[in-house]
Amino acid sequence: AQSVSQHNHHVILSEAASLELGCNYSYGGTVNLFWYVQYPGQHLQLLLKYFSGDPLVKGIKGFEAEFIKSKFSFNLRKPSVQWSDTAEYFCAVNRISGTYKYIFGTGTRLKVLA
C-alpha cells in the first residue's frame, strides 16, 4: 500500500541547533516529493518540492531536502533553526502520472526553544 512515514512525531530543539526530519515513502513508480509546513494558526503551505534533476533541493527560509532514491527517502534539513521555525511539518508524495492524489505523512511537530 502507498504510504509515507515520518519517524519523528515530536522534536524539541534549541535555537541554532541543526535539524533533520526523516521521511520515507512507499509508492510505486516515479514520484514527486513535497514538504509542507503549518505554522501555528496558519494554513498549510509549501516549503519545498522535488520533481527531477538535482536531488538536493532548496526551499524557503533556509530549508533543504535531499532525495535518495535507493532509500526511498526525502529528509528535510536546516543547518540552524530559529524560534520562528516552530511548526508542524508534513512530507507528501504523489505520482507523476495516473492518479494525482497526494499521500501525506503523519507530520512532525517541531518546537524550537528560544
Inter-CA distances, 66 with 24, 71, 80, Å: 11, 11, 17
Residue 20, classed as helix, strand or coil, is strand
Residue 84, classed as helix, strand or coil, is helix
Task: Give min distance, CB of 65 to other proteins, in A.
Answer: 15
Compute the half-sphere exposure of residue 75: CA atoms within 13 Å on the CB side of its CA. 11
Among 40, 70, 100, 114, binds other proteins (CB under 8 A): 100
Among 12, 56, 68, 96, binds other proteins (CB under 8 A): 96
Closest CA to 110 of 73, 62, 77, 72: 77
Among 19, 59, 81, 107, binds other proteins (CB under 8 A): 107
Q: Is 72 in the site for other proteins (CB under 8 A)?
A: no
**Residue 114: DSSP 8-state:** -
Among 49, 62, 73, 77, binds other proteins (CB under 8 A): 49
Among 4, 23, 87, 112, binds other proteins (CB under 8 A): 4
| Contact residues for other proteins, defined by CB under 8 A | 4, 6, 32, 36, 43-46, 49, 51, 90, 92, 94-97, 99-107
